[in-house]
Amino acid sequence: MIEAGRLEQPDRPADKFGFCFELDSLDQVEPWGEPGQGRLHWFGLTSGRYWINTHWGQVLRYTTDFLKLSSYPSCYAEYQVARLFEDLQQCLPSVLEPVPEDIAAVVSIPGWTEHLSPWSAEECESAERERRWELYESAMGWWDRREIDTAYLRFGPRFQFWRVGETVCFRWTTENNSDQGAPVFLVPNGKIELSADEFRQAAFGFCEAVLSAMSSRVHQIRLEGWSRSDCELDVDALVSEHRSRERRFGEMRRQVSITDWAKVRTHLNLLVDRVGLP
């Protein structure tokens, strides 16, 4: 987390890679549901903003022109921080599994997945569609588990993480970075490489920080009770869910992804033979 005052500082390259966030204060968290029937829960209570520090600049930071156009309250992506928290946990075991260099060299080609789209969407008999899907899943399913799609954000980019040896590659791509002529993100596209240890520390550190911030929030609510009149909150359920999320995070840290790379290589070669390279 960072101090709120830092949000007003101009963007500059960061010395250290990191997933960063800030939570809204409890009185600012918007309830879910229709007026008069609002409710809040663990996910909703993570309302805030987040971004990623890189030496290229801050990913998910909006431009001044876009902020003037949209009247967003923050220069960073506004959403429930739990979304990035969940997405990272889902892909981390796969991201930390090394990918053979020859496989990564093909699948990480810029535009490779877009190159596959016409072939996968082409009209054909149902049996052929099934064969194409099976080939795609066998050759590319592992890659899909190393992606995070932020389409829930306006103009949200796609994140891709993959490890080769002791290096983790992080690439982000924004398909459309213009709103009424105004550029949306300061750093809409890019690719960086960092050590696997640095990435692991940043990713796990972010998850731990979210859990710590929510632990304090849950503790405060448990001690003081829930007094907001505009929405309901089940305090016992909140405490139970927080404990469950802490437990699942601990279990995720012990998970090890094991991919049959020989099988992937065979099917990837078949896929390349069918559709060619970009």
77-113 pLDDT per residue, tens? 999 999 999 999 999 999 999 999 999 999 999 989 8
User: Residue 10 above 50 pLDDT?
Assistant: no
Confidence band of 11 (pLDDT split at 50, 70, 90): low
CB count within 10 Å of CB 12 equals: 10
Give me the percent of the chain exceeding a pLDDT of 70: 95
Q: Is the pTM of this model over 0.75?
A: yes
User: Residue 34 above 80 pLDDT?
Assistant: yes
Tell me what pLDDT residue 114 has.
87
253-262 pLDDT per residue, tens? 999 999 999 9
| Cβ pair 11, 185 in contact under 8 A | no
More confident residue, 137 or 7: 137
Give me the percent of the chain exceeding a pLDDT of 90: 81
User: Residue 36 above 60 pLDDT?
Assistant: yes
Q: Which two tokens stand for residue 224?
A: 């003081």
Tell me what pLDDT residue 124 has.
79
44-53 pLDDT per residue, tens? 999 999 999 9
Q: What is the mean pLDDT of residues 10-31?
A: 86
Confidence band of 130 (pLDDT split at 50, 70, 90): confident
52-86 pLDDT per residue, tens? 999 999 999 999 999 999 988 899 999 999 999 99
The secondary structure of the chain as a DSSP string is ---GGGGGSPP---SS-EEEEEEPPGGGPPPBSSTTS-EE-TTGGGEEEEEEEETTEEETBBPHHHHHHH--SSSBEEEEHHHHHHHHHHHHHHHTSBPPHHHHHHHTSTTHHHHHHHHHHS---HHHHHHHHHHHHHHHHHHHTTEEE-TTSTT--EEEEEEETTEEEEEEE-S--EETTEE-BSS-SEEEEEEHHHHHHHHHHHHHHHHHHHHHHHHHHHHH----SSSEE-HHHHHHHHHHHHHHHHHHHT------HHHHHHHHHHHHHHH---
- Domain layout of the chain by residue ranges: 4-275
Q: How far is CA 231 from CA 25, 119, 185, 227, in A?
A: 15, 49, 34, 9
Confidence band of 35 (pLDDT split at 50, 70, 90): confident
